């Protein structure tokens, strides 16, 4: 059985072919987001190497599938879930199944909810039936699973969801139950989750999350350019005032792991510089930009298809570091040069140190809440133990550090950052912050090492492209997602108004020399 997302297609098909040779009698079944996405894109044939493709929530499929195999029946080439699985009906994780292998992992994954009420044009969460709202798993069950895994040695949990605060009341109930459980049992695991920027105006919730043991929060920042946010209808980010909102969240002691995107139609020549300034002003310790990709089923995909801007891409193949199925409005050379400039500046020791220093200064605001002893998803002690258990990971860390050591100026800022961290003796868990900062920095150094034009599989529109086509005439009339009509209209309104402003500004410019 295989599962994955679009970008995993290459490795999944390679694995299938490898195991088919090794186990000729095996039946190969694939499910997960990749199947739904490929069906929406009308290219399920890319998964023909598998015997059976499953589409929909696995809970509604897997029992029948396993029983058919057990009875010696031949599986059909396509199995489709008849309905969405009500996550409120989830059962406790199987302890006997997880216990033998739990020690191999840094921590565990516990699902807490599905769905998100927001309307980002590029996001495929909203494309699943009834997924533009939050479906809540029983909070007592969540705590029960945490307790079970803690008793078996887990000390870190990724709380899996589309948006932790998609339902504010449910989030608060869960936090209260985790706090009560911690006080009753003495367990204090570190927690990591995904949520939206609007938590910055919820101090009570932020305080409770710290008391629960959260220290890493993934937030889709996307862009520090308001126009690009308007284009994708990321209205919650616009209302927040991004840099100030991120600073407020981090002042409690959280590390915001930022999702960043380049390649919006509204992005200008200065977009990479804007991102660098935004990262510095926000004191974000992470900052790894990706390229805008049109996921099948999303309004963005439909818009790109209507305007003839989709291109065929086999994700994960060809050895590229960056790939996209969009023909960008920004010239390809300008986009690549911007990326290379970003890389050069972002990995510079002085720039990295400046953000670490700014982050520690945020903790002086009076909001900082230290975590319980030993808590924190990014715990340096537990991370060190994990490295000792995994020679491959240890070698990778040595490689990371060597990349900085051979660059004397960078190594100087590593030491300077360490001395700064040690000097902040009033900050509980300060070495964990240093570890994350160093990890993010070395990760960028390795990823971007020797970044060249050949690492990009991207294209731009032709020079004679009609700018008005970025907003196709049928964009609004073809919107038929399974979400409330008023929400579809809200996203359309924000996207259309911003793209029309891009068109208007472009038409006012002098034509370029041929």
Q: Which has the minimum average pLDDT: 82-96, 298-312, 374-388?
A: 374-388
pLDDT of residue 374: 64
C-alpha to C-alpha distance for 443 and 202, rounded to whole angstroms:
32
Q: What is the mean pLDDT of residues 154-162?
A: 95
CA-CA distances (angstroms) from residue 40 to 5, 29, 55, 325, 436? 13, 19, 11, 14, 38
Residue 30 main-chain phi, psi, to 5 deg: -125, 140
Strand, coil or helix: 291:
strand
Token pair of 119 as six digits: 């309307």
- Residue 254's contacts (CB-CB under 8 Å, 6 or more residues apart) are 206, 209, 210, 214, 215, 216, 217
Percentage of residues in the chain having pLDDT higher than 70: 97
Q: pLDDT at residue 487 above 50?
A: yes
Domain spans, the chain: 2-80, 87-285
Q: Across residues 461-472, what is the average pLDDT?
A: 95
pLDDT tens string 299-314? 999 999 999 999 988 7
Predicted confidence at residue 316, as pLDDT, reads 64
- On whether the CB atoms of residues 9 and 31 are closer than 8 A, the answer is no
In the predicted model, is pLDDT for residue 106 greater than 70?
yes
Count how many Cα atoms sit within 13 Å of the Cα of residue 205 in the half-sphere of its side chain.
21
How many angstroms from the chain centroid is the CA of residue 6?
14
Calpha distance 212→183 (Å, rounded) = 10
pTM to 2 decimal places: 0.92
What pLDDT sits at residue 182? Answer: 96
Q: Which residue has the higher pLDDT, 89 or 448?
A: 89
CATH number for 87-285 (one of 3.40.1010.20, 2.102.10.10, 3.30.565.10, 3.20.20.70): it is 3.20.20.70
Q: How many residues does the chain have?
A: 514
- Whether 400 shows a pLDDT value over 80: the answer reads no
């Amino acid at each position: 059985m295989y599962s994955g997302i679009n970008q995993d297609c290459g490795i999944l098909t390679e694995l299938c072919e490898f195991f088919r040779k090794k186990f000729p009698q095996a039946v190969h079944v694939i499910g997960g987001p990749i199947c739904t996405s490929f069906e929406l894109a009308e290219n399920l044939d890319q998964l023909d190497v598998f015997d059976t493709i499953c589409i929909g929530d696995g809970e509604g499929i897997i029992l029948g599938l396993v029983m058919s195999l057990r009875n010696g029946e031949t599986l059909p080439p396509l199995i489709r879930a008849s309905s969405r699985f009500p996550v409120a009906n989830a059962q406790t994780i199987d302890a006997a199944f997880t216990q033998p292998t739990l020690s191999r992992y840094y921590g565990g994954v516990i699902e807490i909810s599905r769905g998100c009420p927001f309307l980002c044009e590029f996001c495929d969460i909203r494309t699943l039936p009834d997924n533009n709202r939050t479906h809540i798993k029983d909070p007592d069950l969540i705590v029960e699973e945490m307790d079970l895994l803690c008793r078996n040695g887990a000390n870190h949990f990724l709380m899996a969801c589309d948006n932790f605060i998609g339902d504010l009341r449910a989030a608060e109930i869960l936090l209260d139950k985790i706090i009560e459980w911690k006080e009753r049992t003495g367990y204090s695991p570190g927690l990591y989750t995904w949520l939206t920027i609007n938590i910055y105006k919820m101090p009570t919730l932020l305080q409770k999350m710290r008391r629960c043991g959260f220290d890493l929060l993934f937030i889709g920042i996307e862009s520090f350019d308001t126009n690009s946010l308007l284009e994708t209808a990321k209205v919650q980010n616009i209302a927040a005032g991004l840099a100030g909102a991120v600073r407020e969240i981090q002042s409690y002691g959280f590390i915001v792991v930022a999702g960043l995107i380049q390649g919006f139609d509204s992005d200008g020549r200065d977009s990479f510089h804007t991102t660098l300034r935004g990262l510095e002003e926000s004191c974000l310790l992470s900052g790894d930009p990706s390229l805008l990709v049109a996921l099948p089923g999303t309004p963005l995909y439909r818009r790109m298809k209507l305007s003839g801007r989709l291109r065929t891409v086999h994700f994960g193949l060809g050895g590229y570091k960056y790939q996209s199925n969009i023909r960008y409005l920004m010239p390809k050379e300008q986009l690549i040069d911007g990326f290379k400039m970003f890389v050069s500046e972002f990995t510079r020791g002085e720039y990295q140190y400046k953000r670490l220093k700014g982050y520690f200064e945020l903790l002086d605001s009076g909001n900082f809440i230290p975590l319980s002893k030993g808590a924190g998803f990014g715990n340096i002690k537990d991370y060190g133990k994990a490295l000792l258990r995994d020679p491959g990971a240890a070698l990778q860390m040595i490689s990371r550090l060597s990349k900085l050591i051979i660059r004397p100026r960078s190594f100087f800022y590593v030491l300077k950052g360490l001395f700064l961290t040690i000097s902040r003796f009033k900050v509980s868990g300060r070495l964990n912050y240093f570890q994350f900062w160093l990890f993010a920095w070395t990760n960028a150094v390795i990823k971007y090492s020797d970044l060249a034009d050949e690492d990009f599989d991207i294209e731009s529109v032709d020079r004679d492209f009609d700018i008005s086509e970025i907003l196709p005439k049928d964009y609004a009339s073809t919107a038929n997602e399974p979400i409330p009509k008023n929400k579809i209209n809200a996203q359309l309104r924000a996207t259309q108004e911003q793209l029309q402003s891009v068109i208007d500004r472009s038409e006012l410019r002098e034509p370029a020399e041929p």
